Every structure is written in C-alpha cells, then in structure tokens.
Structure 1
Amino acid sequence: MTAEGEATEDEALVGGMVNAGAVFRRGSLVERPAPRTARALHAHFLALKAHGFDAAPTPVGLTADGRERLTFIPGDVALPPFPRWVMTETALRSVGGVLRRLHEASAAVAVDTGVEWPRDLADPEGGTMLCHNDVCPDNVVFRDGRAAALIDFDLAAPGRPLWDVAMTARYWIPMLDPASAAALYPAGLDAPARLRILADSYGLSPQQRAELPGVIEQATASCRAFVADRVADGDPTYTRVLAERGGWQRWDRIQEWLAAHCELFTAALLK
C-alpha cells in the first residue's frame, strides 16, 4: 500500500510487489486486497490506537469480494531506487522512533494465538508481541522528512522486538554489500554509523546491541529462504527480481559481507 506523495481521488497507489496495481485510494480511504489475517490485524490496529499508537491506518471494514478498507495516510513514500531524502540521518532516526513506539504499544496488546500468522518473514524463535517484519522504505509514510506512519502489515507475526529491528536495519542501513546497495540506494552511506543511529533512536540495550549483528544475519537468511520459496513455486515477480538483481550470487555476497563485518558492526554499536 504505497504511493509517492498524496494521491488524488480514485487513484491507483503505486508500489509494492505482491499487490502491485491492486491498491486504490478512494477519497479518504484505501482499498486493497485483504490479507488472510485481516480481521485479526484490524482488531490489533484498534488496540494499538487505544494504547496511544496512531501511526498506522485505521481499519474501516472488509468487502464481500475479499478486500479491506483502511484510512488513507497522506504523506510521501519512497520507491526504489530510493532517493537521498529518505536516507538522511533525520529520516533514519525517525524510523527508529516510530518502530519503538509501535513496539511499546504492541507489548500491551495480547497476540491472538488462534490466528495462523504468516511465517514468511516471522521470527523463527517466535514471541509474544506482534512484529511488523517488513518496515522497508516502501512501507513508511513520511512528512517533512520524518517517518509519520507504518503501512502494509500483511507479514506481521509474533516475534522478538529485536527481530523487527534487525529486519528494519536490513532495509534502512542498508545491511548490504556495496555492490548490492548501489543498485537501490544513494552512494556514500556509512553502514556502521547508520546502524548505531538506528540502535540509538530505537533505544536498544547493551545486550540487544551485542546481539543485533547476529540477528541481522539470521534475518537475512530468512529473507533468502522467503525468496527461494517463491521462486520454487514459480512466482513470476520474484523470479524476475531475482534475475534482475544478480541471482543467488548476490545473496551469497550479502551473507559473506555480513559475516566478514560482524565485529565492525558490533564495535560501532557498543562504542
């Protein structure tokens, strides 16, 4: 559910991979394909608002043909290749702050254990708090250069807060080798320094900082498996993107780069 800038009446919202071309703004509402967990997510959104978190869409309802209606959140959403304005230190700090606010509210909301939450990008260790799991630039609404809201909770599932931070770091630092980063991100981003900024803005404890590089490696492996499953199923979108971005050699390169720089990242986080 993404758009660049404020959409007009009855306009298709651009962006995303799974729901590309199927998300529309109609007045003050967004209509999009409903995830199978939509009813539980809608209840979660309302509970989050009751606990003071207003940086997510408000659910309006479900249609008979399997779509959901949510309030439209005005602002700017960056689409790849990502512009420099969304990669500023101010933007990064604001993302860490919004994620911390989400987790503080989510910690007070019981997870519905009767729901079959998606396991695609979920924390393999599980958890008692619902994590977003996909806080990429495409899923953050900005105003005046600062994160104002999170959208597209389709992959939300129970997990550890640190898992959500690791997933977020993958996209916002980014935790990619230089060749992979150059394809989607502005040049000159200092990964160790940005990782420290994210940890500071979120408020990670010393123990969490020490664990974060390892959890990022674990999250990267999960993302690779996510892509592999879709390619094995013949998904044309993921098959095309895999080929366009360097195939499995790119994933090998990313994982090798993360392992080789683990001590550097840990030092930056703990200094």
Structure 2
Amino acid sequence: MSSDHGHHDPGPNNTVFRNGLSVAFIDFDFAAPGGILEDVGYMAWTWCVSSKPERGSVELQAAQLRVLADAYGLARQDRQGPVAAMIQRQSQNIAFWSERIDAFEGPPTNAAEIQERVDGSRREMDFTKAHSELFLEAIGV
C-alpha cells in the first residue's frame, strides 16, 4: 500500500478538534512524497502507543493500534508495517534531535530540552520494541 504524498507529522499536536472530535490536520511543513505506512506508523506512535502510564495498559494500546490499522484498511500483508514504521520513526526522531543538541534552528530550545526529546524518543522506541509482538498480534499479523 502506498500513497503519493504524506503529512509526515500527523500527531495530536497537529490536529484540529471540535467538540472533542478530530476534524482536520494542520501544519504541513514536512509534507512530501511518501508511503501511507510512514504516516500510519507515526500516528500509531503518537496516538496509540506510549510508555507513559497515563496512556493506559499495553493491551489497551494494542487494541487502539488495531482500530487504527482497521480504519486505514491495511491489507494483511501491510499489517506488519505500522510497528516497523513506529520504530523507524522513533529512531529518526532520536537522530533528528541528537543532531540539534548544540545547534537547533528554531524557537529557543535549550540543550536540556532537546536531550529530553532524545531520551523520550529512546524510551518510546524501547517500549515499542519490548511490546512489538503484542502489537503485531493485535493488528492481525
């Protein structure tokens, strides 16, 4: 499954909500050609899967991942993709922020804040890897 273009940042922070429902994505700075699994993987990470206790049990997160995969109509052969794409994106996030610890070109962000983004992405990647079998089982792999 592929697509001509992707948002590449379809997280809750780039979503418009009305009456508690998401109605639109905004902030297309990173929009570019890409496959659907890139966006589905990022959505899986930012909407469904997190090491943060307030995000619910791993089983609940796995069920949410199933809803996302079903909503996108992922074919059986594409069902392994979201978990691999989450890990890939988390790895890219670690690299992106690691390169910017000493020279971030954007709003004022100190090195400690950037290091926390690196550490947070690493925690998320470790969590995703540790539970990847449950996530894959939940989405029908």
Answer whether contact 1:130 1:157 (CA < 8 A) is retained: yes
Answer whether contact 1:230 1:238 (CA < 8 A) is retained: no
When the two chains are superposed, the root-mean-square deviation of aligned CA atoms in Å is 2.3
User: Which of 56, 60, 63 pairs up with 1:188?
Assistant: 56
Equivalents in 2 of 1:164, 1:187: separation in Å?
20
Equivalents in 1 of 2:28, 2:55: separation in Å?
29
The one-letter amino acid of 2:122's match is D
Give, in angstroms, the shift of residue 204 of structure 1: 1.2
**SS in structure 2 at match of 1:230:** coil
Answer whether contact 1:141 1:149 (CA < 8 A) is retained: yes
Answer whether contact 2:6 2:33 (CA < 8 A) is retained: yes
Return the structure number with greater helix share.
Answer: 2
Give, in angstroms, the shift of residue 141 of structure 1: 0.9
User: Which of 16, 34, 50 pairs up with 1:176?
Assistant: 50
**5+ unaligned residues in a row in structure 2: which ranges?**
none
Give, in angstroms, the shift of residue 147 of structure 1: 1.7
Q: In 2 relative to 1, CA 188–260 (structure 1 residues): closer, same or farther, beyond 3 Å?
A: closer
**SS in structure 1 at match of 2:17:** strand
Query: For this pair of structures, how many residues does the alignment match?
Result: 136
Q: In 2 relative to 1, CA 220–252 (structure 1 residues): closer, same or farther, beyond 3 Å?
A: closer
Answer whether contact 1:133 1:168 (CA < 8 A) is retained: no
Listed as ranges, the matches of 1:1-271 within 5 Å are 107=3, 129-173=4-48, 175-177=49-51, 181-182=52-53, 186-188=54-56, 190-235=60-105, 236-237=108-109, 239-243=111-115, 245=116, 248-270=118-140
Q: What is the TM-score when the length of structure 2 is the normalising length?
A: 0.82
Structure with bigger RCO (C-alpha 8 Å, 6+ apart): 2
- Name the larger-Rg structure: 1
Deviations 1:34-65 (A, max 9, x none): xxxxxxxxxxxxxxxxxxxxxxxxxxxxxxxx
**5+ unaligned residues in a row in structure 1: which ranges?**
1-102, 108-128
Give, in angstroms, the shift of residue 143 of structure 1: 1.9
**SS in structure 2 at match of 1:203:** coil
- Which shifted more, 251-260 or 149-158? 251-260
Q: In 2 relative to 1, CA 228–269 (structure 1 residues): closer, same or farther, beyond 3 Å?
A: same
Give, in angstroms, the shift of residue 217 of structure 1: 0.6
The one-letter amino acid of 2:56's match is G
Answer whether contact 2:94 2:121 (CA < 8 A) is retained: yes
Equivalents in 1 of 2:36, 2:21: separation in Å?
22
Answer whether contact 1:227 1:238 (CA < 8 A) is retained: no
Runs of 4+ in 1 over 3 A off after TM superposition: 247-252
The one-letter amino acid of 1:241's match is E
Answer whether contact 2:100 2:114 (CA < 8 A) is retained: no
The one-letter amino acid of 2:78's match is Q
Deviations 1:103-158 (A, max 9, x none): 9xxx5xxxxxxxxxxxxxxxxxxxxx121011111211122322211110011111
